[in-house]
Amino acid sequence: MVSTSTRVVVTGLGVVTPIGTSVEEFWEACRVGKTGIGSLSGFPLDDLKITIGAQVWDFDPKKRLHGSRRDKIITYADRYSWFAATAAAEAVKQSGLQVPFADGYRAACIIGSGAGGLVTLENGYRDLFIHKKRATHPLTLLRFIGSSAAAHVGIEYGVKGPTFATCSACSTAAHAIGLGRDLIRSGLVDVAIVGASESAINYGTMKAWQALHVLSPEGCFPFSAKRNGTVIGEGAGVLVLESESHARQRGAKMLAELMGFGMTSDSKDMVNPDIEGPSEAMRLALTDAGLDASDIDYLNAHGTGTVINDRNETNAIKRVFKNQAQHLAISSTKSMYGHPLGAGGGIEAIVCIKSIGDHWVPPTVNLHEADCECDLDYVPNKGRDQRVTYAMSNSFAFGGFNTVLVFGPAPM
C-alpha cells in the first residue's frame, strides 16, 4: 500500500519552450506576456493550409548539451530527446544532487512523450521514399522510440531504478509527474526525474492535425470569443522530485510540495471531452492533497483554445469550485507558447511552482473579449501580483485522459 504520509517535494525545475529555453528566461517571458507563435519554417510546407506554430529557435544541442558526461550519443539523438536532456540538466543542477547518483537503484526517471521522435521518422521516410536512399541513419530506431528521452536522461545521471516513458497524449507529463511522486511515496525510490518532452512539428504532423480541423490559422486564443483552434508547440518540462526526508538530509532547497494527483478517463469519446471526467480528476487531486476547492488560489487551465475544450473545462471548474469559481484566478499559458502536446503538463507544473514562489499569476494573452460561456477570471492579457499558496494544473487529453496536479508551498 502506498504511504500517504511521505511528503514529496520539488527541488529542481527545467524547461525548453518557444518563449524561453531556461526557467529564468521562460518565466520572464511569461511576465511580459511574450508570444512564441509565428510562421512555420525549417521543413517543406508544400500544400499546408495551417502554416503557424510555436517552434523553439536558436537551439544548439552541441552548445546546450556539451556538459553531458555519461551519455555519449545525446547530440546524435532526436530533437525531443535534446529538449528533455536540456530541461533535465537544468533541473538536476538546481537540485544540487551529486551525479551520477550514489545509489542509482534509489532513483527513477520518467520522461514521457506523446509522439516520440516524429521528426526522425519523417526524415527517415523522406530519405527512403523521396530521396531514394538505400538506408536510413543507423540511429534511426533509437531516435524515434518514445522511451529514448527517459533512457538518455537516466544514463546521464546514473538512474538504475524505474526508468520508462509515459504516453497519454496531452496528459503525458502530468502522468509522469504523478507516477514519480507515487514511486517516492511507496518507498521504492528517494528521487525521481519526471516530466515530458515533445518535438513533433513537421509536414506529416501538421497534415494530420489539419485533417482533424482543430488548428487555428491565426493564433491561440483560449477562452476568447474569437478562438478557432489550437496552435501546435514544442518543448519540455522536467522536475526533480524527492522525499522530504531525503531533501532535508542533504540540505536541499525545497521549491514546493507536490500535494495532490488525480487521474480519470472519460471512457466516452476519443475527441469530444466530457465534464464528468475532468471534474472528478480535480476532485480526486484535491482530496489527495487534503484541501478544499476554496484553498486553491491559482489554476493553470488546460486551455487549448478550441471551442469545445475551453467551454467544457470552464463548466468542469464550475462544477468542482461552485461559488468559489468566480473568485479563482485561472489562466491558460498556452496562449503564449502554443500547445506543446505531451510536454504541456510539465511546463505548466513549473508555472504553478513559480507562481507559488513569486506570488504572481501569469496572464491569458490575446483575451480581449471572452466567450459568454467562458465567464470566469482568466487573468486577461496582464499577469497580476497575488498571494498563491496552493495551485492546480489541469491536463486533459484526446482519448479522454484527465490528469490534475496540486502544488503547495515547501514544508517549513
Annotate 121-174 with DSSP letters as a single string. HHHHHIIIIIS--S---TTHHHHHSTTHHHHHHHHHHT--S-EE---BTBTHHH
Cell 515533445 identifies what position? 198
339 counts as catalytic: yes
Residues 311, 389: Cα–Cα separation, whole Å: 27
Output Rg (C-alpha) for the chain, integer angstroms: 20
161 touches 188 (CB < 8 A): yes
Strand, coil or helix: 406: strand
Cell 479563482 identifies what position? 328
Q: Is 307 exposed, middle or buried (CB count within 10 Å of its CB: 0-12, 13-18, 19+)?
A: middle
Strand partners, 112: 196
Out of 30, 170, 220, 352, pick the active-site residue: 170
Distances (CA, A) of 154 to 66, 109, 175: 17, 6, 18
Q: What is the largest CA-CA distance in the chain?
A: 64
Phi, psi dihedral angles at 207 (to 5 degrees): -65, -40
190 touches 106 (CB < 8 A): yes
Query: HEC profile for 95-118?
Result: HCCCCCCCCHHHEEEEEECCCCCH
Strand partners, 77: none
Q: C-alpha grid cell for residue 384?
A: 497580476
403 touches 174 (CB < 8 A): yes
Out of 30, 302, 352, 374, pick the active-site residue: 302
Q: Which amino acid is at 170?
A: C
Residues 340, 198: Cα–Cα separation, whole Å: 6
Residue 153: alpha-carbon gap to chain centroid: 17
131 counts as catalytic: no
Out of 30, 339, 352, 374, pick the active-site residue: 339
374 counts as catalytic: no
Q: C-alpha grid cell for residue 319?
A: 462544477
Q: Which residues are catalytic?
A: 170, 302, 339
